[in-house]
Chains A and B, each alone.
Chain A
Amino acid sequence: MILMSLAEKPRHGYALIKDIEALSKGRVTLSTGTLYGALRRLLDDAWIERFEQDDSSRDKQAYRLTAVGRRQLQWELNRMQHLTRAGMARVRGSEA
């Protein structure tokens, strides 16, 4: 969900929490500790990067997707789409 949020535009920590809450219609509220643990791992994998925004202070660092992160997100979304299709086909098959 972090990658999905960053796919739209770069965001800083608080904006990520709010966007993920909105994306999930309130079902997912990340705590700060959880968010930054995930951000650290995504940075390690080079799926996201930190960068300086003109208006950002040290305590408002922004994050954006890298090319690798975008590709990984696309791959993951394709996988989920494939799973959904397979699941729907089975549900329809069992109803018939």
Chain B
Amino acid sequence: MVLRRVFQLLLCLYPTEYRRLFAAEMLAVLEERAGERRGNRWALAEIAALLAGAGAEWASRLRDGDDYLSNDSEAADDAVETRKLIQLTVNCMDYAIAHHDFVRARFYSAVHDKLGEKLRRLLETRGEHTEMP
């Protein structure tokens, strides 16, 4: 019970956006683990990791500003920009394949997939479907 309170307090140190997304889940995991673990070493390690995690998340929050864990702000602009980038990677991939540079082609292929995934998520938030170039 005391441990749960300590974990709850430590989770309050995280940025609000992060807490909204993960705090309930993290507390549930901590409770499950508390049920199987005995001794102070485990609890101390968890406390240290939570403190370090909160520090790291605040650093990301300060670095990324409004983009930190943002889901759909300016989603329309992002989708247009992402489509352009996808087309660009397709061109680069074609060029690399034409010049037998398969290492580079594989790299562009991975970037293409990543952008495709991003576009799919952006469009999903607006209830649209993805048409990949």
User: Using Cβ atoms and an 8 Å threshold, which residues of chain B touch A34?
Assistant: 49, 52-53
Q: CB of A92 within 8 A of chain B?
A: no
The interface residues of chain B, by DSSP majority, are classed as helix
User: Using Cβ atoms and an 8 Å threshold, which residues of chain B touch A37?
Assistant: 53, 56-57
Residues of B within 8 A of A (CB-CB), count: 33
Q: CB of B80 within 8 A of chain A?
A: no
Q: A31, B45: Cβ atoms under 8 Å?
A: yes
A63 to chain B, nearest CB (A): 10
- CB under 8 Å from chain B, chain A span 18-67: 31-37, 39-40, 45-46, 49, 58-61, 66-67
A61 vs B54: C-alpha distance in the bound complex, in angstroms? Answer: 20
Task: Spot the interface stretch: B18-26, B83-91, B94-102.
Answer: B18-26
Central interface residue in B46, B53, B57, B110, by most chain A CB within 10 Å: B53
Q: Which residues of B contact A (CB under 8 A)?
A: 18, 21-22, 24-30, 32-33, 45-46, 48-54, 56-57, 69, 106, 109-110, 113-114, 116-118, 121
List 18 A–B pairs whose Cβ atoms lie within 8 Å, in order of A's numbering.
A12-B25, A13-B26, A14-B33, A17-B33, A32-B33, A33-B53, A33-B54, A34-B49, A35-B29, A36-B26, A36-B53, A37-B56, A37-B57, A58-B24, A59-B25, A59-B27, A68-B117, A75-B106
Q: Which residues of A contact B (CB under 8 A)?
A: 12-14, 17, 31-37, 39-40, 45-46, 49, 58-61, 66-68, 71-72, 75
Ordered nearest first, which 5 A-B pairs have the shortest CB separation? A33-B49, A33-B53, A31-B49, A59-B28, A33-B50
